[in-house]
Amino acid sequence: MKALIISLSTAIMILSSSGIQKEKADMVIINAKVLTIDKDRPSAQAVAIRGEIIIAVGTTSEISSLIEKGSTKVIDAGGRLVIPGFNDAHVHFGPLDPDYIELRYTTDPSVITKKVKEQVARSKPGQLIEGGHWEHEMFIDKKWPTKELIDKVSPDNPVVLSRADGHSVLVNSYVLRASGISKNTPDPFGGVIQKDAVTGEPTGIIKENAEDIIKTGAVKPERTPEEENNRQWQGYLLALKEAREYGVTSVQIPGAADFGAYEKLQKAGELTCRIDIGKALTADTLLLKKYLELEKLYPREGNWIRFGYLKAFMDGTIGSGTALMFEPFTDNPSTSGLALVPYKEMEKMIIAADKLGFQIGVHAIGDKGNNWVLNAYEKAEKVNGKHDSRHRIEHAQTLQPSDIPRFAMLGIIASMQPTHCISDKKFCEKRIGPERAKGAYAWKSLADAGAILAFGTDYQVEPLNPMEGLYAAVTRKDRLGEDGEGWHPEQKIKMDKAIKFYTLGSAYSQFMEDRKGMIKKGFLADIVIVDKDLLTIPVNEIMKTKVDYTITGGKVVYVSGR
């Protein structure tokens, strides 16, 4: 009997030391090529899951021992690549509007006229017509659109169409009249009302803070509360469906989202990705204290619906010519961009929020905008002391060489969206010139300098599909492909690094690197199986790669073809 006990103890020790547990699995993935993102075990063949947690990672033989016939779900990957679920670190996620006019990739401005006309025909007079994602640099003439493009088809409806970056809008004359905007209306601080060079009349393009003075005078659609609630619910379901089809198992929303709506989705069993929701950065002590109470309800220790970071805007964008630069724009020397908040005010807000322990993420695009945010973070550290704040710069698109090492020195996370590079490169050098463009979308330089990178999409500014971001990160080429080594190829990174920044990097940016972002024992079972080997396929196959399985919290939430 004693020998038997020793033998069993020895067996338990052997199982324990190999990392394989005795408990049976609820689900296993076998015969896979597992990219774990775990530096201690970079690759494996199989994964075992129990409940919401990964209980073992190993060979197919080892993991097969945890299968309980009749109760364990077995997914035979057949050699396919298995990676952690994608974690979009910066996404404007929410209910999708079926009436929204989609203008992404439009090259002929007359298409805008046609689509607005069609939507007006489906609407009642006075109802708001919304749409967006147009990019004038993709138009045949590369000119800013004007209100004349839509006035003739929308005399009785307000129309607001956002540029792809969300920092400029095209409105019709109906909206200009309702807003009281005329040739005599001055530009507000941090905003521009674009006016015709000859007549002085507003063109219909409104930029940055000037959008705050827009009033549409819109008539609300005639819907009952029940109809409106159902419309919202269906919009959330559409958004979640899109996320899981692309293998997105976590999203980090920079403010303007409804905690209660996601709680309802979770209770209904419809929440298929994890949600972080932030709020607007402020120096208002009373409001910050309200945020602290909200953070207690949705703490960092949670895994599903959590309070995120406080968001602010330092400047605009390169595309809209409103990014804050040290020197004037090359193609428009009359401006160096816009500071959307005075520096001292930004510094004050950051110091106040940092003192209370909030994580902060500031939108900064231009080299001066990024420099100012880094300066404000550095000042907060001097005033409040150094702590594990993990403050972020959202986008970090254009940097001076001297500012690149400051990210690691200050512990600032570069929250970047690789597709911005391949969307913007066609006009970036025209805007800021070739020399400043060397510091644009410089993710390799940041990583080499020791900075933590968190990848995302900025959806709906860019598509939600992570494959486009991975393609951008490793090629820096146009989506249609092009000859050569890509735009500033010295900033390209390897595919495994790109996936790491999109998984573990994003998890670190939300204080979850201890339980998310890797395929590792004890971690949350958020896993994706793709139909192509992203690590070996030609680059022109990356954006054609599809997700076959999405697993969130140990549950299969998407299977291709079902």
Mean pLDDT to the nearest integer, 366-387: 98
Q: Please determine, for residue 316, whether its predicted confidence score (pLDDT) is greater than 80.
A: yes
The CATH label, of 3.10.310.70, 1.10.10.60, 3.40.50.2300, 3.30.450.90, for the domain at 101-213 is: 3.10.310.70
Look at residue 62 in the predicted model and tell me its pLDDT: 97
Mean pLDDT to the nearest integer, 267-271: 98
Look at residue 20 in the predicted model and tell me its pLDDT: 54
Q: Please determine, for residue 318, whether its predicted confidence score (pLDDT) is greater than 80.
A: yes
Q: Which of 53-57, 457-461, 512-516, 523-527 has the lowest average pLDDT?
A: 457-461
Look at residue 535 in the predicted model and tell me its pLDDT: 98
Q: Residue 440 has what DSSP assignment?
A: B
Mean pLDDT to the nearest integer, 15-43: 84
Q: Please determine, for residue 5, whether its predicted confidence score (pLDDT) is greater than 70.
A: no
Note the pLDDT tens digit of each residue in 194-203: 999 999 999 9
Give the confidence band of 30 by pLDDT, cuts at 50, 70, 90.
very high
403-436 CB burial, b ≥16 within 10 A, e <16: bbebbbebbbbbbbbbbbbbbbbebbbebbeeeb
196-223 CB burial, b ≥16 within 10 A, e <16: eeeeeebbbbbbbbbbeebebebeeeee
Q: Please determine, for residue 8, whether its predicted confidence score (pLDDT) is greater than 80.
A: no
Q: Please determine, for residue 13, whether its predicted confidence score (pLDDT) is greater than 60.
A: no
Q: Please determine, for residue 317, whether its predicted confidence score (pLDDT) is greater than 90.
A: yes
State how far the alpha carbon of 8 is from the alpha carbons of 5, 12, 23, 93, 216, in Å.
Answer: 5, 6, 15, 52, 75
In a 13 Å sphere around the CA of 553, the CA atoms on its Cβ side amount to 13
Look at residue 55 in the predicted model and tell me its pLDDT: 98
Q: Please determine, for residue 2, whether its predicted confidence score (pLDDT) is greater than 60.
A: no
Mean pLDDT for all residues in the chain: 94
Percentage of the residues of the chain whose pLDDT score is greater than 70: 96
State how far the alpha carbon of 347 is from the alpha carbons of 127, 342, 376, 379, in Å.
Answer: 41, 9, 5, 8
Please enumerate in sequence order all residues whose Cβ is within 8 A of that of 401, keeping only pairs 6 or more positions apart, or say none: 438, 439
Give the confidence band of 14 by pLDDT, cuts at 50, 70, 90.
very low
Q: Residue 24 has what DSSP assignment?
A: P
Distance from C-alpha of 400 to C-alpha of 412, rounded to nearest angstrom: 16
Q: Please determine, for residue 242, whether its predicted confidence score (pLDDT) is greater than 90.
A: yes
Distance from C-alpha of 447 to C-alpha of 492, rounded to nearest angstrom: 11
Give the confidence band of 401 by pLDDT, cuts at 50, 70, 90.
very high
Note the pLDDT tens digit of each residue in 276-308: 999 999 999 999 999 999 999 999 999 999 999
Distance from C-alpha of 411 to C-alpha of 390, rounded to nearest angstrom: 6
